[in-house]
């Protein structure tokens, strides 16, 4: 990655290839992607947006327990996961990575099952090296480091990619994981999706650093800040970083400068803490609009294709949700069975206690009090 010095995070430099109007502003950095690859990436971005919209409505109807939206962050999430080699590389996610899960190959109905509370919703299909969503903020960094360490010990060629938000970068575990990865020269790419808010805490109240990319410097790790609403820049930086790590150069940190267009979660109201007019200004940088304009400029996309895509994807999301609802129920044991290969005595005790409680208060499962 000979361009790292040019985009020095200490100078707050940002890698951008597409501007907000979908025009190329950095022609020497355009990645070598075929038109079919560009269209495929856009289709996944669009699908994730439509799935998010559907799940918002389903949650309001009480048909999903909760979920966390990727709306606004599709370009970087598709960019870094589409750069992974299927069946070889690994992805350790957080909880706001719907577009990334789709790109990795997670079926929509399984993602929905997860948000319905079914443990099997986090189980990846054969050949999909994607770990279950991680709710404990920052822990996925340690998981990725463990995978990368295993790859190194067995002399494998796989690279681990992991991501957290700007808030997650304040967790001690994220620094510990990065420090360990540098010490052992591990093949891992650390990502910070700076979407401007840690729930309701804005970046300005979370760090005094000029950006998040500089947080790798203390460990001796190279880093770069990228326009995370620009798919081309997101893919370019990710693909290069993954190959950099694969060649034995050690870990690297990427900050994707993006924006969480939706709420923190389905139980959140961002209007309470977002300054008036902020959303209206930031939506001008919508990654889907930017990518769509670029595809149209290449004469490989138009409004008729968009209309057809929206219809097909809406039908797909609806059918996947119907499938997920049929798999909504699950045995109580599933909550306890999959932490270890074999359940420990403590977990067996907890399962027995849960059974005793439900036998005594069966109305709990029926939504009673």
Catalytically active residues are 260, 264, 273
Token pair for residue 34?
């075929």
N- to C-terminal Cα distance for the chain? 59
CB 148 within 8 A of CB 183: no
DSSP state of 138: T
Distance CA 317, CA 64 (A): 14
Joined tokens for residue 333: 């044991």
- Alpha-helical (H) ranges within the chain are 35-60, 74-82, 98-104, 108-115, 139-153, 172-183, 231-244, 278-282, 287-297, 303-326, 334-337, 345-360
Number of neighbouring beta carbons within 10 Å of residue 40: 15
Distance of alpha carbon 165 from alpha carbon 194, whole angstroms: 6
From the CB of residue 363, how many other CB atoms can be counted at a distance below 10 Å?
Answer: 9
Nearest to 248 by CA among 176, 192, 181, 164: 181
- Burial letters for 302-331: b for 16+ Cβ neighbours within 10 Å, e otherwise? eeeeeeebeeebeeebeebbeebbeeeeee
24 secondary structure, DSSP code? B
């Amino acid at each position: 990655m000979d361009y790292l010095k040019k985009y020095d995070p200490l100078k707050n430099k940002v890698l951008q290839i597409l501007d907000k109007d979908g025009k190329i502003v950095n022609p020497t950095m355009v990645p070598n992607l075929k038109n079919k690859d560009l269209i495929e990436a856009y289709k996944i971005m669009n699908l994730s947006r439509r799935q998010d919209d559907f799940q918002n409505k389903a949650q309001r109807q009480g048909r999903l327990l909760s979920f966390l939206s990727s709306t606004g962050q599709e370009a970087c999430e598709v960019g870094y996961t589409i750069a992974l080699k299927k069946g070889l590389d690994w992805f350790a996610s957080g909880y706001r990575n719907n577009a990334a899960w789709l790109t990795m190959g997670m079926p929509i109905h399984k993602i929905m099952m997860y948000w319905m509370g079914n443990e099997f919703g986090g189980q990846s299909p054969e050949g999909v090296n994607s770990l279950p969503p991680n709710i404990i903020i920052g822990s996925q960094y340690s998981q990725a480091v463990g995978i990368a360490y295993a790859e190194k010990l067995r002399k494998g060629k796989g690279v681990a990619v992991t991501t957290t938000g700007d808030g997650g970068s304040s967790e001690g575990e994220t620094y510990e994981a990065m420090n360990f990865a540098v010490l052992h020269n591990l093949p891992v790419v650390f990502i910070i999706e700076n979407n401007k808010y840690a729930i309701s805490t804005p970046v300005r109240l979370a760090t005094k650093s000029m950006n998040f990319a500089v947080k790798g410097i203390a460990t001796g790790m190279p880093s770069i800040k990228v326009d995370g609403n620009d798919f081309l820049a997101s893919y370019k930086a990710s693909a290069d970083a993954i190959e950099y790590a694969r060649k034995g150069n050690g870990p690297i940190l990427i900050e994707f400068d993006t924006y969480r267009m939706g709420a923190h979660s389905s139980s959140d109201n961002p209007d309470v803490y977002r300054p008036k007019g902020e959303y209206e200004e930031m939506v001008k940088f919508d990654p889907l609009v930017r990518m769509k304009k670029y595809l149209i400029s290449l004469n490989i996309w138009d409004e008729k294709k968009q209309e057809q895509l929206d219809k097909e994807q809406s039908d797909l999301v609806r059918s996947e949700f119907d499938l997920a609802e049929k798999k909504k129920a699950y045995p109580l044991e599933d909550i306890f069975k999959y932490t270890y290969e074999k359940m420990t005595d403590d977990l067996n005790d907890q399962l027995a206690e849960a059974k005793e409680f439900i036998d005594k208060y069966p109305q709990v499962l029926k939504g009673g009090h």
